[in-house]
Amino acid sequence: MAKPESHIEVCDLTMKYGHKLIQQGLNFVVNRQDIFILMGGSGCGKSTLLKHMIGLYEPAEGQIMVNRESLWEVSSARRREMLQGFGVSYQAGALVSSLTLAENVGMPLELYTDLAPREIRELVELKLAMVGLSGFEDYYPSEISGGMLKRAALARAIALDPEVLFFDEPSAGLDPVSARLLDDLILELSASLNSTIVIVTHELASIFAIATNAVFLDAESKTMLACGHPKDLLDHCDNPKVQRFLRRGEMPVKQN
Amino acid sequence: MSEQVNLTVNNNLLLVQLSGDWSIHQPAVDRGPITRVLDESVQIKKIVVDGQSLGKWDSALVSFLFQLTNLARKKSLILDHQSLPEGAVRMLSLATAVPKSTGSSRKHTHWSFVDRIGLRVVWIFREFLRFVDFLGESLFACHRFVLGKAVYRREDLLFFLQDAGPSSLGIVTLISVLIGMILAFVGAVQLEKFGASIYVANLVGLSMAREMAAMMTAIIMAGRTGAAYAAQLGSMQVNEEVDALKTMGISPMEFLVAPRMAALVLMMPLLTIYANLMGILGGGLVSVTMLDLSWSIYFQQISHSVPLVHFTIGLVKSVIFGVLVALSGCYMGMNSGRSATAVGAATTSAVVMGIVLIIVFDSLVTILTTVLDI
């Protein structure tokens, strides 16, 4: 297997809201075509970390490197260009409520390509079909179910064939079967689009099913406790917090 | 013929050879020639797509293949492919895995002109019934509020009182002083010709007391507080907060609407008295500086010529205006749809409806008082 190539690097990142410290000393590398999980208990700053990685928030200290280029040391025009390679699927979908699904998915295509309306429509049909929503082009976000909303948001995220796909809690609020189908869809997309995937989640089933790498954030010590493949972490990581998380609170019996 | 697609017909087989780079950042490849060939040569039973000499590709290629698959399906042809990139094949199979949900796609019905009028009338009638419904419910809630039986938070009421009253003083001051000055200016130009400039005081006093103070305050409150109520209640609908209150056994009409309405109804007369004062001051400012009247003469003239009944009419109206503004704000908010656009629309409608109701009601009162000679 070829040596993994780094895609996004987080170097000495410190995140703050005003003066309130969220996390500090974050160091990890997301390799190309990884399915990378940001995990940790509720309120530890996973979503905030995601928002730093997609360039919504500026780091208090440290760097976010995308393709070895620092996101915040370049001009804002160049940054926008770099961010165009990102597709983001937000927790609650975040589709524009006044637009139909087709218009929502077509919006980035309209803005960033010179395609004719008919060509955009065809691409939109493809993207919606890929997430299993063929035939729902002219529905408004308020007229479809929560699971469909998540898939529609995914269709919008992949509209421009992104290099990196970010998911904020993709399976939150979905039944186990739908969550599993969404996991399969993410796996399938990562294989066919050759994209790198970064997911914020605390669904253990998903973590073990799809992750190739992960980082564990802790709310108390405000830093990362472990980084690696979740199964390796389960077998080899000694940190009790990581073990508790990965075993749903059940601690392995201590051997004397 | 496009360079990226090469077509060869061989008996009942159509070979589609794809080449070059496919990107969504360049114009899409025309599928016209393929449709034309399929229409001309009806003996074709099978399409084979060959991707041997493909360069870079993205969704543009998959979109092309997807549309081709749909075309083949419609014409019941067999579609086969060879040496296509693995990723593209996976995306294609993903897209064709779930069949198009039939019956779900929208039929855009085009209504005729007469239909549209009919639908509109029905809609207006329904909306009217809903409003009457709301009016009844809010009357009921206010009744319980007055009896002290309504369930609401005191802090909320105090906050709304603060927001509708003291917080609006700045804008009410500005508008009232300016209105008083405008009235005095307009009157002064006319009355000076007759040497009757002292009557500017009557003009300003009378119009502020009877009409302008109450109406301008009401319009300010419609834009300021009515809009805020609609937006607050609308976003609460979006967040399902109103549903949450209902399930806790709390009546949204008592908890949300009654304190808002009470705050406006209590504050409107006070603001109107204040607006009267400011308007008369504004008029006085113009009279003293332009018309050589002294402050004492100006105030004396007003207190002699504007009896208290005019102020009373203005005050009574302001209470009703308060009800109208609160009603339109709360009604639009509570009936808002559950999206960002709907909340925006509700806010707009609240202001428009508030102002229309204010002016219509004011005209009715003016006609009535004229007929009754008050």
| DSSP secondary structure string for all residues of B187-210 | HHHHHHTTT-GGGHHHHHHHHIII
Task: Note whether B25 contacts A193, CB cutoff 8 Å.
Answer: no
Q: Smallest Cβ distance to A115: which of B28, B86, B101?
A: B28
C-alpha–C-alpha distance, residues B216 and A194, integer Å: 64
Residues B20, B154: one domain? no
Domain boundary among B81, B97, B113: B97
Could you tell me the CATH number of the domain that includes residue B70? 3.30.750.24
Residues B93, B162: one domain? no
Model pLDDT for residues B316-327, shown as the tens digit of each residue: 999 999 999 999
Residues B232, B92: one domain? no
- How high is the mean pLDDT in each 10-residue block of chain A (256 residues)? 75 87 88 87 86 87 86 85 84 81 87 84 88 85 83 86 86 78 83 85 84 87 85 82 81 54
Burial letters for A6-40: b for 16+ Cβ neighbours within 10 Å, e otherwise?
ebbbbeebbbeeeeeebbbebebbbbbbbbbbbbb
Question: Which residues of chain A lie closer than 8 angstroms to B25, CB-CB?
Answer: 113-114
Please tell me which residue of chain B has the smallest CA distance to A134.
B100
Work out the number of other CB atoms within 10 angstroms of the CB of residue B139. Answer: 11
Residues of chain B with pLDDT below 50 are 1
Q: Smallest Cβ distance to A126: which of B59, B90, B104?
A: B59
Domain boundary among B47, B75, B97: B97
C-alpha–C-alpha distance, residues B121 and B316, integer Å: 34
Task: Note whether A132 contacts B98, CB cutoff 8 Å.
Answer: yes
Q: Does B239 touch chain A (CB under 8 A)?
A: no
Task: Note whether A115 contacts B100, CB cutoff 8 Å.
Answer: no
Tell me the nearest-neighbour CA distance from A215 into chain B, angstroms: 28
Residues B240, B307: one domain? yes
Whether B129 is in a domain gets the answer no
Question: Which residues of chain A lie closer than 8 angstroms to B91, CB-CB?
Answer: 130, 192-193
What pLDDT does A1 receive? 46
Domain boundary among B65, B97, B129: B97
Q: Which amino acid, one-letter code, is at B108?
A: H
Question: In chain B, how many domains are there?
Answer: 2
Classify the C-alpha dihedral A19-A25-A31-A33 as positive or negative.
Answer: negative
Question: Which residues of chain B lie closer than 8 angstroms to A113, CB-CB?
Answer: 24-25
Tell me the nearest-neighbour CA distance from A115 into chain B, angstroms: 6
Delimit the domains of chain A by residue range: 1-83+211-248
Q: Homologous superfamily of A1-83+211-248 in CATH?
A: P-loop containing nucleotide triphosphate hydrolases (3.40.50.300)
What pLDDT does A116 receive? 84
C-alpha–C-alpha distance, residues B365 and B367, integer Å: 5
Phi, psi of B124 (to 5 degrees): -65, -40
Q: Within 13 A of B193's CA, how many CA atoms are on the CB side?
A: 4
C-alpha–C-alpha distance, residues A229 and B163, integer Å: 55
Residues B262, B163: one domain? yes
Tell me the nearest-neighbour CA distance from B15 into chain A, angstroms: 23
Work out the number of other CB atoms within 10 angstroms of the CB of residue B208. Answer: 30
Whether B281 is in a domain gets the answer yes
In 3D space, the residue among A37, A22, A10, A65 whose CA is nearest the CA of residue A246 turns out to be A37
pTM above 0.80, yes or no: no
C-alpha–C-alpha distance, residues B63 and A115, integer Å: 13
Task: Note whether A113 contacts B90, CB cutoff 8 Å.
Answer: no
Task: Note whether B28 contacts A114, CB cutoff 8 Å.
Answer: no
C-alpha–C-alpha distance, residues B256 and B157, integer Å: 10
Q: What share of chain A is helix, strand, coil (3-state, %, to 5)?
A: 40, 25, 35
Boundaries of domain holding B275:
138-372
Whether B123 is in a domain gets the answer no
